[in-house]
Chains A and B, each alone.
Chain A
């Protein structure tokens, strides 16, 4: 295949996936957003401002770190960690919120809303809103508010209003529903910063483009440090923004394997999981067509994962497309395996990963030993684990 990858099409389709499945009130706002995005994407001033923010505020470039001890221990491929955990606010989420907030400012919006699962995107949004002096409302499932209380407190410190969402399963999907309802109601002054590569067009493409800095840097760093491209990329996939950010700049490099790791919760065979690509089927939710976890009647079913950030019944439409075309492979890791990944990285490298990222670590532990010692895996360490101390302590029966 020599044709250059060029997705999505004008109306936001990745093959049969993606699109703009929204009610009429949102049609105009998303078209306006798309027009503004296309305009500023080519505006050197906007790009310069974004680059400056990424350098001086976010702290980019993030290191590509050779986890030598862990690689040796596993006895296979050389593992390199893309250190998104070292960004300001502790995860990759801020790459996107910085970009969208700049866009909001250019569009003259005074109010920012967002949904959040683990709270990382909420914190990253509240952070940029505080910096720009914009009103900020974060929707968060009531269940997540409890299990990520530290991040709730951080958002409040940053001046955001956190609204616990009590409808449905009270997790990320319900927070997204509520944020969409807010947007429909306050569309004139409000900018909705979606945190992942889902939602109606242009969000999946726009969030990808803002996150693609992960992959662009990683590619250059790998060439600089090793002198060649990696053999495999590994990243966790909930909505899939850190994964697409890492994968996207490598899509045309056919020698590079791309592996997305979904959350298997108690195990895919139990039905209690969050792995739509591995065990779901295509449908329409939150403005796009993609793989979903649903019952036979098309009702969305509850998801399960130890990590709030992966607890989502859908996945970015571009991942659906990459799966169907075979360009990327999607696997899954259970809660228990993720905890092994969490402990391994912590003990072997002195880096405490987020539970979301721990899924990628756990899969790396399976993959690396099957590869040769001169082969290279780049794993996206999408966030740091500080936010998960409570969950971990609780799980291991320790009182803090």
Chain B
């Protein structure tokens, strides 16, 4: 059983929901990421989505775009993100790590070389924003052969047919992007998300994590009531951006926010 599946099953047994932070690896500098990952685990997160910076992040709003640019200024790359994940695994065997990014850095490395490198780094899942199941066959089979979960995105306009397609191609969990738009935008509409999740749940056996629009403990609690996991990204990266002169302080604020979310979600 994959580390992701085990994590979601263990949570389900205690009636809890997964708290899943997204951070861009290498933001605001390459040394910051590893200690931040450990600190987030201390704060009570269940899965870490580690963003691989890309020069042209088409699906991301300004906050994550700028995070990518900061990381790229330090020449952060897919190889270096894998190295960070390898370091993380040396002292943490429990927390699943999911790489999230765009397909071109993977194409540049080559699908098979990437799958091998991800396996060596003990990566648990790979979420590629611009690689829909239609284009993902080769990549998915290479990942699955190495027990790495391919994670797919669902959107408010995904049809039953497409949800079934993601269910068949994906494993670990599905990630429901609860807003049309880029990351960090807009507000959460609970009624819409609830209705959509009902539709998704009838078409998949996989856990569903919900992201986009999760900003604070209250929205985290609301979303936790709807899906199997809560993804928070731009709200964390905003803390980094607000404290570029003092990354330690950014780390403290991120931990505080995650602790508050954890408590709100569990109560």
Which residues of A pack against B, CB within 8 Å?
A: 11, 19-25, 27-29, 167-168, 173-174, 177, 180-181, 184-185, 187-188, 282-287, 289, 292, 294, 296-301
Query: CA A23 – CA B57 in complex, angstroms?
Result: 11
Give chain B interface residues in 126-159, CB to chain A under 8 Å: 129-132, 134-135, 152-159
Residue of A nearest to B175 (CB): A24
Sample 23 A-B pairs with CB under 8 A, ordered by A number.
Answer: A19-B134, A21-B135, A22-B130, A24-B158, A25-B59, A27-B155, A28-B155, A28-B157, A167-B62, A167-B65, A181-B61, A181-B181, A187-B180, A282-B107, A283-B108, A284-B104, A284-B130, A294-B104, A298-B106, A298-B107, A299-B105, A300-B55, A301-B55
Nearest CB of B to A303, in Å: 12
Tell whether A24 pairs with B177 under 8 Å between CB atoms, given A184-B59, A286-B58. Answer: yes
In the complex, how many angstroms separate the beta carbon of B225 from the nearest chain A beta carbon? 23
Q: Are B103 and A21 in contact (CB under 8 A)?
A: yes
Using a Cβ cutoff of 8 Å, how many contacts connect chains A and B?
117
- Nearest CB of chain B from residue A36's CB, rounded to whole Å: 16
- The answer on a CB contact under 8 Å between B108 and A177 is no
CA distance in complex: A301, B58 (Å): 16
| A298-B155 in contact (CB<8A) | no
The answer to the question of B109 belonging to the interface, with a C-beta cut-off of 8 Å to chain A, is yes
B103, B106, B109, B154 pick with most chain A CB within 10 angstroms: B103
Is the CB–CB distance between B58 and A19 below 8 Å?
no
| B180 and A298 within 8 A (CB) | no
B88 touches A (CB below 8 Å): no
Given contacts A19-B134, A283-B104, 19 further A-B contacts (CB under 8 A): A21-B132, A24-B132, A24-B155, A24-B158, A25-B180, A173-B56, A177-B56, A177-B57, A180-B58, A187-B157, A188-B180, A285-B104, A292-B104, A294-B108, A297-B77, A298-B104, A298-B108, A300-B55, A301-B55
B129 and A23 form a contact (CB under 8 A): yes
**Given A24-B153, A282-B107, A168 contacting B56 (CB threshold 8 A):** yes
Given contacts A184-B180, A294-B104, A297-B79, contact A23 B130 (CB under 8 A): yes
Interchain CA distance A25-B134 in the complex, whole Å = 14
Q: Does B258 contact A (CB under 8 A)?
A: no
B106 neighbours in A (Cβ, 8 Å):
298
**Cβ–Cβ < 8 Å partners of A289 in chain B:** 107
Compute how far the CA of A188 lies from the CA of B156 in the bound complex, rounded to whole angstroms: 12
Bound form: Cα–Cα A238–B59 in Å? 24
Asked if A181 meets B132 with Cβ closer than 8 Å, knowing A21-B103, A25-B155, A28-B158, the reply is no
Q: What sequence of 0s and 1s flags, for each residue 37-49 of chain B, a beta carbon within 8 Å of any chain A beta carbon?
A: 0000000000000
Nearest CB in chain A to that of B183: its residue = A181
* CB-nearest residue of chain A to B132: A27
Checking A22, A29, A285, A297 against B56 with a beta-carbon cut-off of 8 angstroms, the contacting residue is A285
Inter-subunit contact A184/B181 (CB<8 Å): yes
- How far is it, in angstroms, between the C-alpha of A185 and the C-alpha of B183 when the chains are bound? 10
A297 to B105, CA, bound (A): 6
Q: Are A181 and B162 in contact (CB under 8 A)?
A: no
B264: Cβ under 8 A from any A Cβ: no
B108 touches A24 (CB 8 A): no
Q: Are B130 and A300 in contact (CB under 8 A)?
A: no
Q: How far is the CA of A187 from the CA of B181 in the complex (A)?
A: 9
CB pair B129 A299 closer than 8 Å: no
Interface residues of B in 151-193 (CB under 8 A from A): 152-159, 162, 177, 180-182, 185
In the assembled complex, the Cα of A285 lies from the Cα of B69 at a distance in Å of: 17
Give Cα distance in the complex from A284 to B129, angstroms. Answer: 12
Provide the residues of chain A in CB contact with B22, threshold 8 Å. Answer: none
- A23–B135 Cα distance when bound, in Å, is 11
Q: Which residues of A contact B162 (CB under 8 A)?
A: 24, 27-28
Return the chain A residue nearest B80 by Cβ. Answer: A297
Q: Roughly how many angstroms separate A174 CA and B57 CA in the complex, as a whole number?
A: 10
Contact across chains for A20 and B132 when beta carbons are under 8 A apart: yes
Q: Which of B111-137 contact A (CB under 8 A)?
A: 129-132, 134-135
Q: Which of B55, B104, B134, B157 has the most CB of A within 10 A?
A: B55
Q: Are B152 and A24 interface neighbours, CB within 8 A?
A: yes
Across-interface contacts of B209 in A (CB, < 8 A): none
Nearest CB to that of A187 among chain B residues? B180
How many Å from the CB of A295 to the closest CB on chain B? 8
Q: Report A282 CB to chain B, min CB distance, Å.
A: 7
Q: Please, which residue of chain B has its CB at the minimum distance from the CB of A173?
A: B56
Whether A21 lies near B105 (C-beta < 8 A) is no
Q: In the complex, what residues of A have CB within 8 A of residue B158's CB?
A: 24, 27-28
Out of B78, B129, B180, B185, name the residue touching A297 (CB < 8 Å).
B78
Within 8 A of A (CB), among B64-114: 65, 69, 72, 75, 77-79, 102-109
Assess whether B8 is interfacial by the CB under 8 Å rule: no
Assess A21 versus B131: contact at CB under 8 Å? Given A181-B61, A284-B107, A285-B56. yes
Residues of B within 8 A of A180 (CB): 58
**A19 touches which of B78, B135, B156 (Cβ 8 Å):** B135
Q: Which of B55, B65, B157 contacts A25 (CB 8 A)?
A: B157
Chain A residues lying within 8 Å of B108, measured Cβ to Cβ, are 283, 294, 296-298
Alpha-carbon gap, A187 to B155, bound state (A): 12
Of A21, A292, A299, A301, which is within 8 A of B130 by CB? A21
Bound CA span A29–B132, Å: 14
Residues of B within 8 A of A174 (CB): 56
